[in-house]
Amino acid sequence: APSTARLHATWSLAILLRRGKSVTEAEEALVMATEDSDPDVRCVARRAAGELRLTGARGRLLAGLGDPDSRAAFEATLALARLGGRDPLGWMGRPLPPVEQLPVRPEQVQADLLPFLHQRGDDPYLAHAASLALLAWYPDEDLARLARAGSPAVRSAALQALRRARSPRIADFLSGDTL
């Protein structure tokens, strides 16, 4: 189908689901649209998946962090923040990777927010969305550990998340060259 038709179909599915019509086929189609070839369709589908809390989309949304289209990556990140959950990336309690080991090309960024931030954290919209995801996923103690991260973008997003949480752990960022 042409892009415009797919875009309108995605909007229609989202409206149907928002109105409480729990249709498994509609949810599946919306999840599939998060990987559409058209970035506009991906954006609409990812936004709707987050707003509707479609947990079945989590894997595709994580893969969307590596989307070459900034808007589509932004919507994937915001949707992941809306889905919430604890430690979806599995790095809680692990040592933080050094910056040299983080992926350096967008196509290498797969399902991990820290490399995503290191690579694309200079985009203020993506950094904002990533800070919301960090806030939704991790407790203050884990976010405070990021004060020692090698990447300024990672430290900044963690600090923003702690500020939103009004956490006293912000003080961890005051020692040394943290920003």
Is the pLDDT assigned to residue 39 strictly greater than 70? yes
Q: Are 76 and 87 in contact (CB under 8 A)?
A: no
> pLDDT tens digits for 91-117?
444 544 554 454 444 333 334 677 778
pLDDT of 110 reads 36
Dihedral sign of CA atoms 37, 40, 41, 42 in order: positive
Q: Which residues, including other chains, have CB under 8 Å from residue 136's CB and lie 6 or more apart? A: 80, 81, 82, 83, 84, 85
Q: In 19-96, which ranges are continuous DSSP H helix?
A: 24-33, 39-51, 58-63, 70-83
> pLDDT tens digits for 126-157?
889 888 888 888 888 888 888 877 778 888 88
Is the pLDDT assigned to residue 84 strictly greater than 70? yes
Q: To 10 degrees, the CA torsion angle through 42, 45, 134, 164?
A: 120
Closest residue by Cα to residue 82 from 55, 106, 108 = 55
Helix, strand, coil shares of the chain, percent, nearest 5, are: 70, 0, 30
Top pLDDT among 74 and 91 is at 74
